[in-house]
Amino acid sequence: MSATRSPKVSERVAPKVSDPAPQKKKKRDDDDGPSFGELFNAWIEAHRSSLLDSLRRLGKQPIGSFFTCLVMAIALSLPMGLSLLLSNVERLGGSWQRAAQISLYLQLDASPSEGEGLVRQIKEMGGVAEAEYISRDEALNEFQKQSGLGEALKELPENPLPGVVLVTPLEVDKAALEALRTRLAELPKVQQAQLDLVWVERLAAILKLGDRFVFGLTVLLVAALLLVIGNTIRLHIENRRTEIEVIKLVGGTDSYVRRPFLYMGALYGLGAGVLSWGVLAFGLDWLNEAVVRLAGLYGSNFALAGVPVSDGLSLLLGAVLLGYIGAWIAVARHLRELAPR
Amino acid sequence: MIRFEQVGKRYPNGHVGLHELSFRVRRGEFLFVTGHSGAGKSTLLRLLLAMERPTTGKLLLAGQDLGQISTAQIPFLRRQIGVVFQNHQLLFDRTVFNNVALPLQILGLSKTEVVKRVDSALERVALSDKAELYPGDLSTGQQQRVGIARAIVHRPALLLADEPTGNLDPRLAAEIMGVFEDINRLGTSVLIASHDLALIARMRHRMLTLQRGRLIGDGEAGV
């Protein structure tokens, strides 16, 4: 199936009779058949020819090839883009540990030094990532600022708020968090240990829904991609029907016939992967401007992360594989029809 | 080399292509298969190329039963055969060199070996100076010779030709037949399907005559 150009005349000159090495090689070729090395080189050459032939054919129709890649790229970008946005939403929601913080309300008679001692004790406990003490005065100041009841609170005879220790767990597992909360509640000077899992559960449910949506969309778009690549390869097969029939008549195996189409599918996939990476990088960058402005209004310095290199490489590999599989399915379907007439 | 034993071919639509055909072809033999259009010449060639399977009887080619051959084995069988078509079946987007090199590339031979064998095959059909041209740049006779070079480049044991002189004038037809005789002298069995009785008679080789799928004559042409 390769369209290797014939070597130049200078390359096609037969070895000189006086050259002993080629003579020896020629004798071995005639008597013992090709060596393993020669067969391996021929195999490599056959693959190289198929790859170059496929590239040449794609290059002959640059606009058609580009649009096929673009359609595939858009189909790839949708689930990948949604997945990247979900990752960013996870970051936006803060760390899971922060969302699952345990608040320890201390007894009113607990002094600041007892609170600091409690923090040291908690930090040494297993399953704790961080612990922070907020004294009664600090709690009151913060409440005055946030509630807008500053003047009213000043009228109170004494500070009604207890000291608080905020404990950030190492992992977010409902059972482990519950066990940690129970241990913390038993510590001295702790009046109440409160764990608010509702927010964690809601966020997890939303993200799970998002993941499912992305998965469903991915399945649908992968099927669409296989159809696009299959149809494209089918057209290539139709255009080369005579060539395929001749190849089969002179002893070409199915794998020989299939090879250039598989390379073509993989090349379409590679092109689509590169385009998709570009579309996603550009799209996220474009969105990021608006996101940064919005986040700034809430006093946050949050910004969208771009396409991580590992994700980009996975995208490329996946696209190449999809192109290859799509081409394989298309050729397998049509190979039987390609029997010489 | 070839053994037909009561070989019959009936198509699904009921048409009978061949009726209990029996004959043998020795290694290195040169023979013609002749008959009117629809006599069964092409069916016979298609059976030998394993493009179709016999419905009755036994067809052996180099010891292989073509009625039982698996689909996966067919390409390897065809590598022992060279085929020349009336319409040449050349690939017009490839040079003469690359057209002739095709069977060798399929065999996976090294570049050096491919160059050596293609040069030799083109020399045999007197087209060494046309290697870099495309088939579209050649005359019909030259295109047919490219087809012959492609059919012999991998040194097949059997050469099949289907009306190879059908589109050629008498002078070119005789020239092409001369090429086939040269190839036969090197030990390749040659089987040519043709209805050009005048040309066949001049060559004095064995001739099988088919009529409506039946073998009605087997003897030396022109006798």
Q: At what angle do helices A254-297 and A36-60 cross, to 10 degrees?
A: 60
For A110-156, the pLDDT digits (tens) are 888 999 999 999 999 888 888 999 998 888 888 877 777 767 777 77
Give every CB contact of residue A24 below 8 A, 6+ residues apart in sequence: none
Counting one residue from chain A and one from chain B, the pairs whose CB atoms sit within 8 A come to 86
**Token representation of residue B107:** 């065999």
**Residue B63 forms part of a structural domain:** no
Most confident of A80-84, A92-96, A175-179, A280-284: A280-284
pLDDT of residue B15: 87
Both structure tokens of A273:
């992967």
With contact defined as beta carbons under 8 Å apart, do B54 and B65 qualify? no
Q: Say yes or no to pLDDT of A262 above 60.
A: yes
Give the closest-approach CA distance of A330 to chain B in angstroms.
19
Contact check, Cβ <8 Å, A247/B111: no
Quick one: closest CA in B to A340, which residue? B51
**Nearest beta carbon to residue A6 from set B107, B116, B132:** B132
Phi first, then psi: what are they for B20, rounded to 5°?
Answer: 35, 60
In this prediction, residue A22 carries a pLDDT of 38
Check whether A3 has a pLDDT greater than 70.
Answer: no
Q: What DSSP line would sit under A107-154, residue for residue?
A: PTT--HHHHHHHHHHHHTSTTEEEEEEE-HHHHHHHHHHHHS-HHHHH
Confidence of residue B65 (pLDDT cuts 50, 70, 90): very high
**Cα Rg of chain A, angstroms:** 34
Touching A: B residues 132-151, CB under 8 Å: 132, 150
Q: Which of A38, A247, A340 sits opposite B110 (nearest CB)?
A: A38
Percent of chain B with pLDDT over 70: 98
Domain with CATH 3.30.70.3040 in chain A: 101-195
On the question of pLDDT at A23 being above 50, the answer is: no
Residue in A11, A242, A253 closest to B75 by CB: A253
Give the C-alpha separation, A20 to A15, whole Å: 9
What's the one-letter identity of residue A127? Answer: G
Amino acid identity, position B212: R
Residue B110 forms contact with A (CB below 8 Å)? yes
Confidence tier at A46 by pLDDT (50, 70, 90): confident
Confidence grade of residue A99 (pLDDT, cut at 50, 70, 90): low
Asked whether the predicted pLDDT for residue A100 surpasses 80, the reply is no
- Does some domain include residue B59? no
- Topology at the third CATH level for domain A101-195: Alpha-Beta Plaits (3.30.70)
Q: What is the CA radius of gyration of chain B?
A: 17
Confidence band, pLDDT 50/70/90 cuts, at residue A198? confident
Choose from A5-14, A139-148, A167-176, B127-136 the range with maximum mean pLDDT. B127-136
Q: What is the mean pLDDT of residues A21-36?
A: 48
Interval A166-191 mean pLDDT: 86
**pTM exceeds 0.80, yes or no:** no
More confident residue, B155 or A28: B155
Task: Please indicate, yes or no, if residue B6 is contained in any of the structural domains.
Answer: no
Residues of B numbered 66-105 whose beta carbons fall under 8 angstroms of chain A's beta carbons: which are they? 72, 75-76, 78-79, 83, 89, 91, 93-95, 97-98, 101-103, 105
Mean of the per-residue pLDDT values of chain A:
81
Is the confidence at residue A240, as pLDDT, over 50? Answer: yes
For position A21, what pLDDT does the model report? Answer: 36
Predicted pLDDT at A9: 35
Cα separation, B215 vs B193, whole angstroms: 14
Examine the pLDDT at B135 and tell me if it is beyond 90: yes
> Does residue B138 lie within any of the structural domains?
yes
CA distances B116 to A9, A15, B46, B143, Å, are 12, 10, 31, 21
Residue from the list A6, A11, A250 with its beta carbon closest to the beta carbon of B98: A6
Band of residue B204 on the pLDDT scale cut at 50, 70, 90: confident
User: What is the DSSP pairing of strand B81-84 with strand A102-106?
Assistant: unpaired
Average the pLDDT over A170-176 and give the result.
Answer: 76
Across the interface, whether the CB atoms of A42 and B94 are under 8 A apart is answered no
Chain A: closest CA distance from residue B123 (Å):
13
Domain count of the fold of chain B:
1
Query: Cα distance from A302 to chain B (closest Cα, Å)?
Result: 58
Question: Inter-chain contact A12–B113, Cβ cutoff 8 Å?
Answer: no
Query: Which residue of A6, A9, A244, A253 to mutate against B (max B Cβ within 10 Å)?
Result: A6
Residue A24 has pLDDT above 80, yes or no: no
Q: Is the pLDDT of residue A10 over 50?
A: no
Best of B105, B118, B134 to mutate (most A CBs within 10 Å, chain A): B105
Residue range A245-271: mean pLDDT, rounded = 92
For chain B, what percent of residues have pLDDT higher than 90?
A: 55
pLDDT over 70 percentage in chain A: 84
Can you tell me the ipTM of this complex? 0.89
> Please, which pLDDT band fits residue B6 given cuts at 50, 70 and 90?
very high
Q: Quote the domain boundaries for residue B98.
A: 26-46+69-218
**B91, A250: Cβ pair inside 8 Å?**
no
Which CATH number does the domain housing residue B167 bear?
A: 3.40.50.300
Of the partner residues B103, B110, B116, the one whose CB lies closest to the CB of residue A42: B110
Minimal C-alpha gap between A317 and chain B (Å)? 29
Copy the structure tokens of residue A65. 């090839």
DSSP B126: T
Residue B40 has pLDDT above 80, yes or no: yes
- Our CA-based measurement puts residue B91 at a distance from the nearest CA of chain A, in whole angstroms, of 6
For residue A191, what is the enclosing H or E element? strand A190-195
For residue A32, the model assigns a pLDDT of 54
Q: For B143-192, write each residue's pLDDT tens digit.
A: 989 999 999 999 899 999 998 887 777 887 888 888 889 889 988 999 99
For residue B136, tell me if it sits in a domain: yes
Model pLDDT, residue B115? 94
Q: Work out the pLDDT band at A278, boundaries 50, 70, 90.
A: very high
Instruction: Please check whether residue B17 lies inside any domain of the structure.
Output: no
Nearest CB neighbour to A12, from listed B83, B94, B115 = B115
- CA-nearest of B193, B206, B215 to B20 is B215
**Segment among A1-5, A37-41, A137-141, A314-318 with least mean pLDDT:** A1-5
CB B148: neighbour CB atoms within 10 A?
25
B15 touches chain A (CB under 8 A): no
